[in-house]
């Protein structure tokens, strides 16, 4: 594994969760110094891989600003931000009240905005380039039952990614997103039923659900110099699930003739 991110400090939000912890681990493996944050404490294994962990609620503008300023002044080479914190509760449309709506939209949309704005302010001050990766979701362009607030938040985060990319390009800050399909993380905060998992699996051409590592590898690519001319992109990482319909047979009357 290359050390292409050596000399760069990264902030990873949601670092106590499945995908955030994997992003922290993979960025550290590539040589980055990783400062993790979450509203929960990470377990000991995750914490051991971080240079530092600071608990922050990413929906609290003042707390986010102070946290990013502190990291920027402690680590002069702050260059990367991964916005992985998020909430994906399941609820029927008719039962999503104002508080549920605000909680999901705040964590999934306002939080990444506040973190990216604070990160950009810190980098612009020093003139250093950087990269941001937002973790969105294929739910942002494929609706499903029980996820109206979640899907709306991730669709908006896809567009926020492009807006951030356009505004921050002149400062040498690239902003991209990774949109995972279903990734098994065993989250107690965001529980997933076995029925849902089996139904999703049937629609994945590559024949398995995702792992946090699958997502983290894509994040590391977008953070690194190999992605130097990529900004405003939403990279789908879903085993092919949104490429098409796996349930349909070939449409012709005859079986397709094999090539060759």
Please, are residues 88 and 150 in contact by the beta-carbon 8 Å criterion?
yes
* Token pair of 95 as six digits: 């039962």
Q: Exactly one of 17, 49, 130, 224 binds ligand NAD (CB under 6 A); which one?
A: 17
Q: Does 242 bind ligand NAD (CB under 6 A)?
A: no
Burial of 203 (0-12, 13-18, 19+ CB in 10 A): middle
Q: Exactly one of 53, 88, 119, 221 binds ligand NAD (CB under 6 A); which one?
A: 88
Show the site string, 38-77: x = touches ligand NAD by CB under 6 A, - = not. Answer: xxx----------------xxx------------------
Q: Does 87 bind ligand NAD (CB under 6 A)?
A: yes
| Secondary structure of residue 111 in the 3-state scheme | helix
Least separation in angstroms between CB 77 and ligand NAD: 24
- Active-site residue set: 150
Q: Does 160 bind ligand NAD (CB under 6 A)?
A: no
d(CA 1, CA 12): 20
Q: Exactly one of 190, 211, 213, 242 binds ligand NAD (CB under 6 A); which one?
A: 190
d(CA 37, CA 35): 7
Q: Is the dihedral of CA 208, 178, 190, 153 positive or negative?
A: negative
Q: Exactly one of 36, 49, 86, 130 binds ligand NAD (CB under 6 A); which one?
A: 86
Q: Does 130 bind ligand NAD (CB under 6 A)?
A: no
Degrees, nearest 5: CA angle 61-63-64: 65
Q: Which residues bind ligand NAD (CB under 6 A)?
A: 14, 16-20, 38-40, 57-59, 84-88, 107, 111, 135, 137, 180, 182-183, 185, 187, 189-190
């Amino acid at each position: 594994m290359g050390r292409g991110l050596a000399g760069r400090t990264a902030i990873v939000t949601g670092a106590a969760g499945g995908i955030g912890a994997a992003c922290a681990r993979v960025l550290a493996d590539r040589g980055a110094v990783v400062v993790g944050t979450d509203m929960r404490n990470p377990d000991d294994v995750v914490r051991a891989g971080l240079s530092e962990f600071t608990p922050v609620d990413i929906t609290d503008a003042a707390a986010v600003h102070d946290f990013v300023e502190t990291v920027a002044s402690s680590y002069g080479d702050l260059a990367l931000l991964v916005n992985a914190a998020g909430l994906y509760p399941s609820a029927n449309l008719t039962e999503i009240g104002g508080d549920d709506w605000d909680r999901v939209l705040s964590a999934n949309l306002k939080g990444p905005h506040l973190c990216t704005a604070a990160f950009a302010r810190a980098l612009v001050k020093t003139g250093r380039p950087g990269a941001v990766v937002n973790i969105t979701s294929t739910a942002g362009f494929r609706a499903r039952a029980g996820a109206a607030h979640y899907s709306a938040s991730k669709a908006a985060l896809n567009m926020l990614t492009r807006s951030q990319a356009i505004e921050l390009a002149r400062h040498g800050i690239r902003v991209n997103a990774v949109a995972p399909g279903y990734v098994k993380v065993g989250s107690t905060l965001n529980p997933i039923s076995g029925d849902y998992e089996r139904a999703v699996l049937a629609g994945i051409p590559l024949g398995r659900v995702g792992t946090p590592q699958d997502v983290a590898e894509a994040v590391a690519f977008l953070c690194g110099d190999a992605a130097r001319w990529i900004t405003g992109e939403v990279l789908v990482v879903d085993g092919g699930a949104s490429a098409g319909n796996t349930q349909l047979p070939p449409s012709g009357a005859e079986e397709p003739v094999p090539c060759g």
